[in-house]
Amino acid sequence: MNLPYIHIWYYPQPCKTILLLRQDVDYVDQTGLKKLVNVTTRFKIRGTYFINISGEEEFDEEIGHLKLSEPTTPKRKEILLKVIKEGNEIANHGFWHWVFKDIKNNAQNIKRCRHDLYKLFGVRPKGFASPGGEWNENLSKAIEKNRLLYASNGLSDGGFPYYPYLNDRKTKTLEIPSYFLCDASLEQINSPESLKLLKDYYLNLIQENINNGKPIAIMGHPHLIGRLADIFYPSIFQQIKKLKIPVSTIGEFVYWWRKRENISIKIFYKKSDNQLEISSNTSGFLIQSIFRKRRHLFKIDKGKVKKLLLDKKQGKI
C-alpha cells in the first residue's frame, strides 16, 4: 500500500526553517553588546541572551574562577536593559561561570543567577546554558531541580529539540541544540581569515537548514564576535531577511515545541476514494505529507477534516 508519511510540522508557520540567535554573555562587555544590539535592532533580529552574573570570565586569566569578590553584571546593567527593551529574551548562564561536580553547588549556582536576574531586571528566566559548554550528570539534575523549561548545554551539534536521557530515564528539561562552531572556537576572531571562515559557515548553514528543515541555531559572545558585529552580522542577517526566514527567541520556540508535543492527529485512509482524512482536536498548526518525493504542508483546524487525495498535487511551501 502506497501511503504518504504524515507528521506535525516543526514550526507554527509555513516556513522551511527559523533563526535562533543565541548569545552567551559570559561578562557584560559594553562595547560588544552595544554594537550587537545596534545591528540586531536594525535588522529586527531578536535573540536569547544567557547572562552570567559574576562576570568572572573577564578576569579568569588573572585570578581564575570562583574568586571575584564582587559581581560585575549589576554595575553594567544599563546595556542589558536595552537588550530587553528591544524584545530579546534573557536567560540563565549561572552566577559563577563554572560547572560544579555536585548537584548542590550547581543548583545553587542556577538559583542564585535566577534570583539576581529577577532582582536586576524583573524577569524570570525559563532557560539555562551551561558555562563554557561543560556538562555532567549532576548539572542535569540541578537543572531539573530548578524546574527550568529548557537548556542549551551543547549536548549535540545542532538539530531539533529533544529530552536527553540520564541513566535510562528521559529528563524533564528540553534540550535546544546549537551548532558547535562559533566565535569561541577560533583562536583569533578578529583576523580576516577567521571572520570569513565563520561567516561562510553560517551562510552555508542557512542553505543547508532550508533543505533539511532544522533550526538555524547559532551562538556567539558579545565580548568576541559582538565587538565586530557591525562588520560580521549584516550579510548573515540580510540573507535571513532575503529568504524570509522567521526569527524566534529560544523561549518562544520552546513554548511552541511543548505545545506541538501535545497535539494529536487522527488519520483515516478511505480506500474507495484513495484519500486520507486527517483531523485533530487542536487548531492552528501544520502537517507535512511526504509522498513520492513530494513534500507539502497543510493547515489543520479543530473540528474540520482535511481530505488529502493521494493522486492530486497540493500547494508547496
Task: Tell me the pLDDT tens digit for each residue of 145-165.
Answer: 999 999 999 999 999 999 999
> Residue 261 has which C-alpha cell?
508535543
Same domain assignment for residues 99 and 231 = yes
Of the pLDDT bands very low, low, confident and very high (cuts 50, 70, 90), residue 166 is very high
Q: Which of 245, 278, 301 is the last residue of a domain?
A: 245
Task: Tell me the pLDDT tens digit for each residue of 8-61.
Answer: 999 999 999 999 999 999 999 999 999 999 999 999 999 999 999 999 999 999
Task: Tell me the pLDDT tens digit for each residue of 255-267.
Answer: 999 999 999 999 9
Same domain assignment for residues 2 and 51 = no
Tell me what the pLDDT averaged over the chain comes to. Answer: 94
Alpha carbon of residue 26 to chain centroid: 17
Helix (H) or strand (E) holding 291: strand 285-291
Same domain assignment for residues 124 and 209 = yes
> Residue 102 has which C-alpha cell?
555536585
Same domain assignment for residues 296 and 204 = no
* Residue 164, domain member (yes or no): yes
The arithmetic mean of pLDDT across residues 256-280, rounded, is 92
Task: Tell me the pLDDT tens digit for each residue of 185-218.
Answer: 998 898 999 999 999 999 999 999 999 999 999 9
- pTM for the predicted model, two decimal places: 0.94
Same domain assignment for residues 273 and 236 = no
Residue position matching grid coordinates 588573572: 62
* Residue 255, domain member (yes or no): no
Please answer whether residues 122 and 82 qualify as being in contact, where contact means their C-beta atoms are separated by less than 8 angstroms. Answer: no
Instruction: Indicate the number of domains in the chain.
Output: 2
pLDDT at residue 77 is higher than 90: yes
d(CA 230, CA 212): 29
Bridge partners (DSSP) listed for residue 247: 19
Same domain assignment for residues 92 and 51 = yes
Which domain range does residue 305 map to? 1-15+265-317
Q: How far is CA 303 from CA 8, 158, 279, in A?
A: 17, 36, 7
